[in-house]
Structure formats: structure tokens, C-alpha cells
Amino acid sequence: MTTTSDAAEIDHTPVVRARHYGLAILALAMGGFAIGTTEFVTMGLLPQIARGVEVSIPTGGHLISAYALGVVVGAPVLAFLGARLPRRALLVALMVAFAVGNAASALATSYGALVLARFAAGLPHGAYFGVASLLAASMASPARKGRAVAAVMLGLSVANVVGVPAATWLGQHLGWRTAFWGVTALGVVTLALVLAFVPSCPGDAEASGRRELTAFTKPQVWLTLLAGAIGFGGMFAVYTYIAPTVTGIGGLGESAVPVFLMSFGLGMVAGTYLAGVMADWSIFRSLLIGAAGMGATLMLFWLTAPGGWLALPVVFLITALGSVLVVNLQLRLMDVAGDAQTLGAALNHASLNVANALGAWLGGLVIAAGWGYRAPALVGVGLSAAGFAVLVLSAMVLRRNAVTTENVEAGTHV
């Protein structure tokens, strides 16, 4: 049984046969692993990086913003420019740009140069996940498309469990530049795997930048992006301030912070796997469950934060349900974008980086207002509720349009 929104979804994905399906998916997921590592390693090495380019830690924090801005700008622009390119060739070009951006980060000798390098490294992020998701879906059977896309996104989740801690350790012991050199190496490995195992996928000769821009004329695209930009901000409101919350509110030592961060990462892995299974059941219902569940667990975190270790499993649940939301937002955008497949698929990560900035900013506001480090969790509850409301509105709009279409069609047959 499907919802109204699921029934209206049309599969626009061409079929591509892979000689080694598992290795092809692994190659695509490796790119996600590399991207996830570079996105979050700056947070772990921020003190060392700030000292290295002779700025304060708050000023160094703008490097994270520069990367996020690169994602927001790069996702639509690169999808627009690459609409007609063969998808594997576009993936290769994006990963070359990714490797160059991280090599430039490792070579930067000043704060200004590093800001530009981090911006450049973020540019391919959203477009890569969009194109890789489309390729994964095209290689899978109709009943397993959700799991195929989730497998690609799993690389990003595993990066938070393995890649980020490893790169952070490397940067702490051998200098922060080595972390970016390590990510550059991951980009090169991804290039080799993509060329070896991902099948060639011809570009759409009828595609054009103008056609891709039609995604912005579709209300369902805007509603899906809004649901992600607002709803997923709740997780970042808590994640950004998890360290002072664990130590200042939970009364635990600093050694507990990495354990909580690992719980975040493990929740992402479990949630991403679950998201693929749920997507093959119903994309839209999965979105509603993810949004509502994340709001409920954020409230639970507010309640359990003073209990120290009691909050650890709650952190796991927050990111698990958040990952259900992320994967199904990706699939939803691929569905509702129609012919504007490349741009639609790429926009998800632009939306999520807006959520990152929004959650961190609103969380900082309530802390600065004197409400304490538990307050961002309540901000997260509000953002999750708002995202859920947008999804409900999306379903109502779709249902109303479906009824209108049925009435028009009935009238033409009278």
C-alpha cells in the first residue's frame, strides 16, 4: 500500500548494468567516505589548524562555514553545468576537483588561502552525492533502489565512525596538513575504483541547464528542500554543542566526548541502513517517521542530558532517525525533480548544509541568551516539528493537485 505522494512518484532513472554490482556500489560509497571525512575532520583538528595559520579558534571556525558554503554553491551550479555529461565521467571530474581542493588545503600557507581551499573542496560535495545516488539507483532493481542509494550514503556515515577519528589522530600526531593529504589519497583511491568498476552511463542528449532549472519550478522540490533545511537543523543544534553539554551538563570528563561522537557515528550507520529498507517500503512515510522520531528523541535528550551516560543511547537514536530522514530526502528529491534529475539529486546536500548552519546558529543564540547548553535540544525539537509540518503540507498539496487532476480528467470524459 502506498501513500498519495508515493503513488504520484515516477521513476525517471535509466537502467544501467554493472558487471560487478557490489564493487561498483563500494566505489561510489568510497567517495562518500572521503567526503564525509573531510567535512568533519576540520572540527576535530580546529585548534591545531588555527594555530597553524595563526588565527583564533573562533576565527578558524569560519573554515567550516567556508566548506559548507562551497557545498551550497557547488551543488546547483555543478549540476547545472554537468547536466548533459555522462554520469561516470562527471563523477570522475567531481572527484578530481575534490582531490585538488583537499591538496590545496594541505598546501595552504595562510588563513585566507585555506579559506579558499576549503570552499573549493566543498564545491563537488553535493553534486557527487547526487550523481552517485542516480548511478546507484540505475544499477539496482526497482525493488532495491532505496537500499542502493542508502549504500552510497553509508560511506558518509562510516566516515564519522572510522575516517574522522583516524584523520584526526593523524593530524594530531603528524600535523594537521597530513589529515588533508590523507583525504586527498582517499579521493585518488575513489577515482581508481570508479574507473575500474562503475559502468559507463551515457549522458542525456536532451538534458540542458535550462531543463535542470525546471526543478525550481516544482513546488514539491521546494517543499522537500525546506523540510530538509529546517527539519534536519534539529540534529545539528545538538551535535554542534555536544562537547560542553556532555561535560558541563552531564558532569562527565572530556574523555567521554569521543564516546558520544562515536555514538553519533554509529547511529548514522544504523540509520542509513534502516533508511534503505524503509525507502523500499515507502519514501514519504519514512520521511514522516524520521522527522517525528528525531523530534521525540531530541526531547528525550533534553530530559536525559543531566544524567550523563543515560544520554548516550539517546544520541544514537537521534542520528539513526536523522539518517532515515536524510536518505529519504535524497530519494524524494530524485522522484519529484522529474526530468531535472541531476540538479534535483544534488540539491539535498545543499539543503542539509543550510540545516547545519541554521541549527548551529539558533543553538548558539539560546546559549548566548543564558538558557544553558540543554536549550539547543529544545530548539531542535522545534525545528523537527517545523520540518514535519512542511512534509504534511507537501502531502496536502500533492493530494489536492491529484484530486484536481482527477476532476479535470473526469470532466473531459463527460
Average pLDDT of adjacent 10-residue blocks, the chain of 414 residues? 40 61 91 91 80 81 82 83 80 95 95 95 90 84 80 85 84 91 96 90 63 78 93 86 85 83 88 88 92 96 96 94 90 81 78 85 86 92 96 90 55 46
Instruction: List, in order, residues 6 or more apart from 7 with CB less than 8 Å away.
Output: none
In this predicted structure, what is the pLDDT of residue 287? 94
To which residue does cell 588545503 refer?
Answer: 105
To which residue does cell 525533480 refer?
Answer: 337
Write down the pTM of the prediction.
Answer: 0.75
Helix ranges (DSSP H) in 45-86: 46-52, 57-60, 62-81
The widest CA-to-CA distance across the chain, in whole angstroms, is: 77
- Which domains, from first to last, does the chain contain? 16-205 (1.20.1250.20), 208-414 (1.20.1250.20)
DSSP state at residue 311: G
Instruction: List, in order, residues 6 or more apart from 124 with CB less than 8 Å away.
Output: 35, 74, 78, 94, 95, 97, 98, 101
Q: What would the grid cell of residue 248 be?
A: 558541563
DSSP state at residue 14: P
CA distances from 326 to 204, 321, 330 (A): 27, 9, 6
Query: Which residue from 73, 155, 180, 188 is spatially nearest to 326, judged by alpha carbons?
Result: 155
Query: Which residue from 359, 332, 363 is spatially nearest to 345, judged by alpha carbons?
Result: 332
Helix ranges (DSSP H) in 140-255: 145-158, 164-174, 176-197, 209-212, 219-231, 233-239, 242-244
Round to whole Å and give the CA distance between 13 and 147. Answer: 15
What single letter denotes the amino acid at residue 234? G
Round to whole Å and give the CA distance between 381 and 237. Answer: 10
Please tell me whether residue 117 adopts helix, strand or coil conformation.
Answer: helix
- Cα torsion angle, 97, 102, 108, 111, sign: positive
Please tell me whether residue 19 adopts helix, strand or coil conformation.
Answer: coil
> Which class for 65: exposed (0-12), middle (13-18), buried (19 or more C-beta within 10 A)?
middle
Residue 142, number of CB atoms within 10 A of its CB: 10
Q: Compute φ and ψ for 199, nearest 5 degrees.
A: -70, 150
The answer to whether residues 337 and 345 touch, using CB atoms and an 8 Å cutoff, is yes
Query: Which residue from 24, 384, 401, 4 is spatially nearest to 201, judged by alpha carbons?
Result: 24
The answer to whether residues 40 and 159 touch, using CB atoms and an 8 Å cutoff, is yes
In this predicted structure, what is the pLDDT of residue 6? 46
DSSP state at residue 144: G
Query: Which residue from 41, 60, 46 is spatially nearest to 121, judged by alpha carbons?
Result: 41
In this predicted structure, what is the pLDDT of residue 205? 60
What single letter denotes the amino acid at residue 365? L
In this predicted structure, what is the pLDDT of residue 210? 67
- CA torsion, ordered 33, 35, 40, 45, to nearest 10 deg: 100
What is the distance of C-alpha 296 from the center of its chain?
21
Round to whole Å and give the CA distance between 225 and 227. Answer: 5
